[in-house]
Amino acid sequence: MQNKQWIAGQSHEEQGIPLTQFSQSLISTSGVNNSLFLQIRPPKTAFVKILILDDENLDMFLAKKQLERNYEVAGFTTHTDALAWAKQNDFDVALIDYYLGSYLTGPQVLQELIKIKGQSFKAFLLTNYIDNDQVDTLKAQGFHNVIFKPLTYENFAPHLTS
């Protein structure tokens, strides 16, 4: 019996990725019912560098853990640390929480990042607290889209190609 490996809803053949590209990303093998099971993740795409800003330590930690298997990730819980890092580093994607304490929001931080880096990155807002009417306003402010928490690889990866 042959098992197909599915990644983000598609097999490697459907994604057009040769199986040889997965050889470096083999996580584990184990015998299950006298058959071989391979747990495969897509190869790490280190060329995609992600900045995550979330004032909740646990949310930032979990988001970083979800993505660092496949991307280069820098995570921060304060906007001052994230902005200082952004001044010294290039990145492709910014994932910014909506509420960053009682006085600061994600759109405000995005404007600061744009002042530093211009439009050289894709920005996504992380939240559970907005309705669909606010999504258009956030896109007008520079966000490519909104990603609802909890952040997982599966709900993030499709946004990179959109």
What does the pLDDT profile of the chain (162 residues) look like in tens digits? 343 443 444 444 444 444 333 333 433 334 444 444 444 445 555 589 999 999 999 999 999 999 999 999 999 999 999 999 999 999 999 999 999 988 999 999 999 999 999 999 999 999 988 888 899 999 999 999 999 999 999 999 999 887
Question: Which residue has tokens 């790490």?
Answer: 44
Number of H helices, E strands in the chain: 5, 9
Give pLDDT, residue 46.
Answer: 52
Q: Report pLDDT for 102.
A: 81
Residue 145 in contact with residue 159, Cβ under 8 Å?
Answer: yes
Q: What is the Rg, in whole angstroms, of the alpha carbon atoms belonging to the chain? A: 18
Confidence (pLDDT) at 110: 98
47/45 Cα distance (integer angstroms): 5
The pLDDT assigned to 15 comes to: 44
Task: Give the separation between CA 76 and CA 79, rounded to whole angstroms.
Answer: 7
The secondary element (H helix, E strand) that includes residue 154 is helix 153-161
The domain limits of the chain are 6-40, 49-161
pTM for the full model? 0.72
- What's the pLDDT tens digit per position in 118-154? 999 999 999 988 888 899 999 999 999 999 999 999 9
Strand, coil or helix: what is 144?
A: coil
- CATH number for the segment(s) 49-161: 3.40.50.2300
Residue type, 115: K
* Three-class SS state of 136: helix
